[in-house]
Amino acid sequence: MFVATLIAKQGDLTPALVEALRNAWGGEIVQWLAADEAAEFALPAVPGNAHTVWGDLQGQAVDLIVQPFEGRRKKMLLADMDSTMIQQECIDELAAEAGVGDRVADITARAMNGELDFEAAIDERVGLLAGLDEGIIDHVLETRIDDMPGGRALVQTMKANGGYAALVSGGFTAFTSAVAARLGFDENRANTLGVEGGVLSGRVVRPILGQQAKLEALNDITARLGLAHTDVLAVGDGMNDLLMLQNAGTGVALHGKPALQEKCDVRVNHGDLTALLYLQGYAKSEFVT
């Protein structure tokens, strides 16, 4: 048995659209997870035109996920941080404070779309931050970093239902530790910015955590907890997240870069992070905040 889940921004999902698709696909009774926002119905098989319908619904600002019904509620969340659990790229915000924002943002965008080697790109960007006072990190956290909508509900709801939450980022521990504590993650992994004499050295402490390290985090944490990869819901937005998403039970490209979306079956472009609860079958009334 399979399940089709439709998700949109609050007020943008109409009963008429949901019922029309259910009828066209011969689905079972529609279950509304949130009025005018998220609904689902069971299906005996994946429709042959599912990809075409997904594209049509994207034009109506509606996300569609078709997946096996059994096992969709996961026991672990493995999440990227920048542009996933928070709305910004931390290194871009540091660069803006240093007066090199445009140059660094361009490198970041190209690296996240897979156009540049990740390790070389992070070295180049961090090199431009050399000499910044270490206190700039707290300033950026307080003034420039915003949580992605729905993030706390995602983490807290999965944890309230026995799940484990890990934040794994190609960014920096100075940021992941704060974001993880604020949202309720159980652990976090990231790169470490070099600091000498109270200022940023312009170097990243080795080894650098990139795409392969995120896969290793998936392997390490599931082994430690006695979980299978199929128990994991992973989410990210850039090519640095690809191996993590491909090897998790459910890998979600959240507002993903074009290169990542081409390689992911589950894509959320219009909903926020609560979409990851809806696709697991949670109703809005079950959210824990």
Using CA of residue 198, residue 99, residue 146, residue 109, what is the dihedral sign? negative
Q: How far is CA 21 from CA 16, 57, 138, 176, 281, in A?
A: 9, 10, 49, 41, 18
Number of H helices, E strands in the chain: 12, 11
pTM (two decimals): 0.96
Q: What is the pLDDT of residues 174-220, one digit of tens each?
A: 999 999 999 999 999 999 999 999 999 999 999 999 999 999 999 99
Answer yes or no: is pLDDT of 18 > 90.
yes
Residue 117 known to be catalytic = no
Catalytic residue of the set 56, 63, 80, 237: 80
Q: What pLDDT is recorded for position 141? A: 97
Q: What is the pLDDT of residues 75-125, one digit of tens each?
A: 999 999 999 999 999 999 999 998 999 999 999 999 999 999 999 999 999
* Cβ–Cβ < 8 Å for 104, 95: yes
Rg (CA), the chain: 20
Residue 186 known to be catalytic = no
* Cβ–Cβ < 8 Å for 129, 94: yes
Mean residue pLDDT across the chain: 97
Catalytic residue of the set 36, 56, 63, 82: 82
Angle of CA points 114, 169, 206, to nearest 5°? 90
Binned at pLDDT 50, 70 and 90, residue 66 comes out as very high
- Residue 128: strand, helix, or coil: coil
* Cβ–Cβ < 8 Å for 183, 96: no
Binned at pLDDT 50, 70 and 90, residue 34 comes out as very high
